[in-house]
């Protein structure tokens, strides 16, 4: 089974890393050559981290990396299962899948890693919408165990089952979720970020205090440290998407503080600056 990942950002690179570690021939694609190089470097770095922590034998790294191929040519994106991990914009995802459908056969599974957009919406306009499924990983993809499998209104049940089985073969805990905005985790977790930002906006407490209190309550990371890990821009994009999809319900309103961070290019750990400052 050949796997392809469209989008070489942190999320796409993490998915590709999961795939090659499980022994699958995997193609990592991005139109931006710099993004591809950065994605490959991220994968190599994470494997070396695993070696330094004693979780992976040093002599296994070379064999794992041989499973990875990188490209900037979309025509190369031909595989048994193709997962997109591109920007959270409906029109961009629809355009990408229309192109992928045109260069792949009728048995190819097309999967989206969308965090919030309903699968049925993304599949609209495709010739074979029954071949589209949601396979939603969580960041960092190679460490987080949960994967949501989401069927759209016409997704073939066998496509969903094959996707579920593939996720399990990666060592993941796969669960089926209904096709609704945010699915399970992002719908529930959205308010962890939104309410944290509201508390900061209202000057009830500093972000450091909010993080410390949440962590003292049992959360592994406070909302601001977690947004920096996920990507402030990614997190803001998902919140904006859910705000729209839920009919501009005030409880999903994006924060002006987060918007300012995005506008300033303070995207979190990946940029060296988010709510906190990091060494690059």
Q: Which of 88, 130, 148, 235 is catalytic?
A: 148
The answer on pLDDT for 280 being more than 80 is no
Residue 67 has pLDDT above 90, yes or no: yes
Give the model confidence (pLDDT) of 162-175 as tens digits: 999 999 999 999 99
Q: Tell me, yes or no, whether 32 and 161 share the same domain.
A: yes
Same domain, 120 and 73: yes
Same domain, yes or no: 255 and 224: yes
Q: Do residues 124 and 243 share a domain?
A: no
Nearest to 196 by CA among 171, 217, 168: 217
Determine, yes or no, domain membership for 88: yes
Query: Among the three residues 177, 212, 235, which one is the final residue of a domain in this structure?
Result: 177
What burial class does residue 121 get, using C-beta atoms within 10 Å of its C-beta: 0-12 exposed, 13-18 middle, 19+ buried?
A: middle
pLDDT of residue 139: 86
pLDDT digits (tens, 9 = 90+) for 18-37: 999 999 999 999 999 999 99
Report the number of distinct structural domains present in the chain: 2
Q: Report if residue 278 sits inside a domain.
A: no
Among 13, 113, 115, 116, the one annotated catalytic: 115
**Among 127, 155, 177, where does a domain finish?**
177
Active site residue: 136, 142, 266, 267, which one?
136
User: Are 109 and 154 within one domain?
Assistant: yes
Task: Please write the tens of the pLDDT for every residue from 89-123.
Answer: 999 999 999 999 999 999 999 999 999 899 999 99
One-letter-per-residue 3-state SS of 183-221: CCHHHHHHHHHHHHHHHHHCCCCCHHHHHHHHHHCCCCC
138 and 221 in a single domain? The answer is no
Q: What is the pTM of this model?
A: 0.87
The answer to whether residues 66 and 106 belong to one domain is yes
Query: How would residue 140 be classed by pLDDT, with cut points 50, 70 and 90?
Result: confident
Are 37 and 169 in a shared domain?
A: yes
| 258, 228 contact by CB (below 8 A) | no
The predicted structure's pLDDT at residue 9: 92
Distance, CA of 136 to CA of 144 (rounded, Å): 11
Q: Which domain does 66 fall in, by range?
A: 2-177
- Say if residue 127 is in the same domain as residue 257: no
Mark whether 255 is an active-site residue: no
Residue 21: inside a domain: yes
Are 143 and 203 part of one and the same domain? no
**CATH code (residue 44):** 3.40.50.720
From 58, 71, 53, select the one nearest 16 (Cα to Cα).
Answer: 71
pLDDT of residue 279: 84
Q: Does residue 97 sit in the same domain as residue 204?
A: no
186 is a catalytic site residue: yes
Q: Give pLDDT tens digits for 216-228.
A: 999 999 999 999 9
- 148 included as an active-site residue: yes
DSSP character at residue 247: T
Same domain, 9 and 109: yes
How many C-beta neighbours within 10 Å does residue 252 have?
A: 22
Helix (H, G, I), strand (E, B) or coil at 17: helix
Q: Which of 13, 151, 186, 241 does the annotation list as catalytic?
A: 186
- Average pLDDT score over the chain: 95
| Final residue of a structural domain among 177, 203, 221 | 177
Q: What is the pLDDT of residue 166?
A: 98
């Amino acid at each position: 089974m050949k796997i392809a990942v469209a989008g070489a950002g942190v999320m796409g690179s993490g998915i590709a890393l999961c795939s090659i570690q499980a022994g699958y021939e995997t193609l990592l694609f991005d139109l931006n050559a710099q993004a591809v190089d950065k994605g490959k470097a991220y994968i190599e770095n994470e494997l070396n981290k695993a070696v330094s922590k004693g979780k992976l034998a040093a002599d296994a790294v070379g064999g794992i990396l041989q499973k990875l191929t990188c490209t900037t040519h979309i025509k190369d994106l031909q595989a048994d299962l193709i997962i997109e991990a591109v920007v959270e914009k409906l029109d961009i995802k629809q355009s990408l899948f229309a192109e992928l459908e045109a260069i792949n056969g009728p048995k190819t599974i097309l999967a989206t890693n969308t965090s919030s957009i309903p699968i049925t919406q993304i599949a609209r306009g495709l010739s074979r919408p029954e071949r589209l499924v949601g396979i939603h990983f969580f960041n960092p993809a190679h460490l987080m165990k949960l994967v949501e499998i989401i069927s759209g209104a016409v997704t073939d049940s066998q496509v969903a089952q094959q996707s579920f089985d593939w996720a399990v073969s990666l060592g993941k805990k796969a669960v089926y979720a209904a096709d609704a905005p945010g699915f399970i985790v992002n719908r529930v977790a959205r308010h962890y970020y939104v309410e944290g930002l509201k508390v900061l906006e209202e000057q009830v407490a500093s972000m450091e205090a909010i993080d410390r209190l949440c962590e003292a309550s049992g959360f592994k990371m406070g909302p601001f440290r977690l947004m920096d890990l996920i990507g402030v821009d990614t997190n803001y994009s998902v919140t904006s998407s859910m705000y729209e999809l839920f009919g501009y319900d005030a409880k999903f309103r994006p924060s002006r503080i987060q918007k300012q961070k995005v506008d300033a290019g303070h995207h979190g750990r990946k940029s060296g600056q988010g709510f906190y400052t990091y060494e690059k």
